[in-house]
Structure 1
Amino acid sequence: MSDRRAWIGDLVRDSGGRRAIVTDVRAGGTVWVLRPPTGGGPHWETDDPNSLEILARSEARDTP
């Protein structure tokens, strides 16, 4: 995991401009699973984590 890459629990904006929460990182760290920040909504994936703009880090990452 890189501090510069989005990780599980982070609020991000994808390359299409959609806000999302990272819910999972699969396939050995090659697929990021995203969902809308509110509601259940459809999930979608990206294999380009560098395309995700981090809007807010997960609170769990800020805790030692």
Structure 2
Amino acid sequence: MPRARAGVGDLIEDADGRHAIVTDIKQGAVWVLRPVSGGTTNQWETDEPDSLHVIETREERVKRQAPLDAPPPRGS
């Protein structure tokens, strides 16, 4: 099965081994990344989305971090 491309909110590892969160995808051509922790001032971009390895999707992170008594995310 082909590997899924990273989407906004996904936790990824880039080609340099840095872990990051995808914050934006500009016109389907440029992926904007930020460090997992810290501010958003240290963002970087890549135009090679196939070089990004998805560690955990946004949906998986939300489910993992949600309290057990929380209502399900909207749209579920």
Q: TM-score, normalised by structure 1?
A: 0.84
Aligned to 2:37: 38
- Alignment of 1:21 with 2:1, yes or no, is no
Which segments of 5 or more consecutive residues in structure 1 lack a partner in the other structure? none
Question: TM-score, structure 2 length as denominator?
Answer: 0.72
Higher strand share: 1
Distance 1:4 1:10 in 2: 11
Computing the radius of gyration from Cα coordinates, the structure with the larger value is 2
- In angstroms, what is the RMSD of aligned CA positions? 2.2
Q: Which residue of 1 aligns with 2:47?
A: 47
Deviation of 1:16 after TM superposition, in Å, equals 0.3
- 1:12-63 CA-to-partner distances (Å, cap 9, x unmatched) read 000000000000000x200000000111150000000000000000028986
Aligned partner of 2:10 in structure 1 is 10
Aligned residues: 61
Q: 5+ residue gaps in structure 2?
A: 64-74
Q: Percent identity?
A: 49
